[in-house]
Amino acid sequence: MNKENALEKLKAYENTLFALNHAQGLIYYDGATTAPETSALIRGNTLGELSRISYELSTAPENIEMLEYLLSIKSELHPINAREAEELYRDYDIIRKIPIKEYVDYQKLISDADAVWHKAKENNDFASFEPYLQKIFDSNIRFSAYIDSTKKPYDIALDLYERGLTSEVCDAFFTNLRKKLVPLVHAVSEADQIDDSPLLQDFPVDKQRGFSSYLIDILGIDRRSCIISETEHPFTIQFSKKDVRITTHYYENQLSSSLYSVVHEGGHALYELGIGDELMNTCLEKGVSMAIHESQSRFYENIIGRSREFCELILQYLKRCFPKQLKDIDTDRFYKMINKSEPSLIRTEADELTYCMHIMIRYELEKAMFDGDIKAHDLPSEWNRLYKEYLGVVVPDDRHGVLQDSHWSNGNIGYFPSYAFGSAYGAQILDTMNKEINVYSEVKNKNIKAINEWNREHIWKYGSMYNPTELFKKVCGKFNPDFYIRYLQKKYSEIYGISI
């Protein structure tokens, strides 16, 4: 084998991998959006068969030989080709340790579980979902042992979403947040409370859909490559930088829900759409990690989307859509309503200040499951206990409790801490960005493009060319959660007129 021959094989290998991933992604997207309920009966088998083909392709001796050869001459390769070989070999080194039957059965399991979860949430029926959830956790614990039996199983799960992340790092991070933010949460709860009832009136869904379209344009999302649809739990899926799809869920009596769902998912979409053209059709054509990805979605949702300047920008359009509901609302009141902080039940509706409490609860439950301290049967009661302990709220039912997120039904265990780290990354990115452009002045002037261009140049264009820690350090220097803590302290002390 020579270099030219190996690079040709690399290209052919990635083309086939892309086709398989594309097909699996489309089937999942269809199932989560428009597919009829009974389609779940065949979807799992199809996804299982495609995963079998993908497994066999990834572990085929000729492909491993090709990757090993390219790695042996890495110094001679273009940086993109060298990185491709590294990433594909890493994927192989993980998947080869999982027996093929267990791998295929797991793909079927999470497809079936997702369909069961949708129905269980609708009917407030955790019992129907419980056996699937236990099997999903059992599989992930077993897979972790296959991958590296010398490490804590949960650390393996965390690493799959954020390379290098461990429970030790998470424990230190969350302890720091609790110590410095809980006093602020208490001070806010004792201050005069904000009346956000104008946002809880009747807001017809058809007009909300029109507003979502406006938001897509304001964010600068290329409509030729991105569409928006509806689902139970909003998500973004990327097939390539030329095909990114976001979803939302509308509530007639809760205007801010879809508003910030669209902006959040729009942040994910902008990242994928902004990846460099030179990475197209490679395994590097994707965001590098979930925490970096969430740094973008949370940045647009909260740091930009909940800023006074953005509130002023969108309020006039909203008042045209809903003149009766918002006729007496000015920018200052709208800004305060949008940023109202109070303990709540639903993670996706949580304010910036209490949001990480929701993540800590999920983190502790996942860790307890991996440590064998609890089983799936215990999750509802443990969930309810922690919500009472951490947020002081009583969970009325499982639909508003343990069934609210889709992540576990999709096998995304170890993902949740990425939201908290991503939020903290976003605050440090803001500080760095402000040294080059005046972020909020640009928002006030309707120039989101300038912010997008900065993110594209510093983060998006690199796709998966760098490891997440390496990329973040390249952009912002060493990660320091105090940027996030100071950001929240400043914002909420001003909104509530308190001193910290």
Burial category of 427 from C-beta neighbours within 10 Å (exposed 0-12, middle 13-18, buried 19 and up): buried
CA dist 144 and 101 (Å) reads: 16
Give, for 236, the enclosing helix (H) or strand (E): strand 236-240
Q: Are strands 226-230 and 236-240 parallel, antiparallel or unpaired?
A: unpaired
Which residue's structure tokens are 């059965």?
A: 105
Per-residue pLDDT, 1: 86
Q: What are phi and psi of 235, to 5 degrees?
A: -155, 165
CA dist 64 and 317 (Å) reads: 55
Q: pLDDT means per 10 residues in the chain (500 residues)?
A: 95 96 95 91 92 96 97 97 98 96 95 95 98 98 97 97 96 95 93 95 97 96 96 95 97 95 98 98 96 97 98 96 95 97 94 96 98 98 96 96 97 96 98 98 95 98 97 97 97 92
CA dist 311 and 334 (Å) reads: 7
Question: Nearest Cα to 340, choosing from 355, 329, 351?
Answer: 351
CA dist 228 and 469 (Å) reads: 31
3-state SS, residue 142: helix
CA dist 413 and 136 (Å) reads: 9
Give pLDDT tens digits for 214-253. 999 999 999 999 999 999 999 999 999 999 999 999 999 9
Is residue 463 within 8 Å of residue 287, measured between CB atoms? yes
CA dist 430 and 298 (Å) reads: 11
CA dist 391 and 186 (Å) reads: 11
Residue 265 a catalytic site member: yes
Is residue 130 within 8 Å of residue 71, measured between CB atoms? no
Burial category of 82 from C-beta neighbours within 10 Å (exposed 0-12, middle 13-18, buried 19 and up): middle
Is residue 247 within 8 Å of residue 234, measured between CB atoms? yes
Q: Tell me which of 84, 86, 87, 265 is the catalytic residue.
A: 265
Is residue 244 within 8 Å of residue 238, measured between CB atoms? yes
Give pLDDT tens digits for 106-164. 999 999 999 999 999 999 999 999 999 999 999 999 999 999 999 999 999 999 999 99
pTM of the predicted model, to two decimals? 0.94
Give, for 31, the enclosing helix (H) or strand (E): helix 3-33
DSSP classification of residue 479:
-
What single string gives the DSSP state of each residue in 401-426? TTTS-STGGGT-TT-THHHHHHHHHH
Q: What are phi and psi of 247, to 5 degrees?
A: -135, 160
3-state SS, residue 226: strand
Across 330-361, b (16+ Cβ under 10 Å) vs e yields eeebbbbbbbbbbbbbebbbbbbbbbbbbbbb
Tell how far CA 334 is from the center of its chain: 27
Per-residue pLDDT, 40: 87
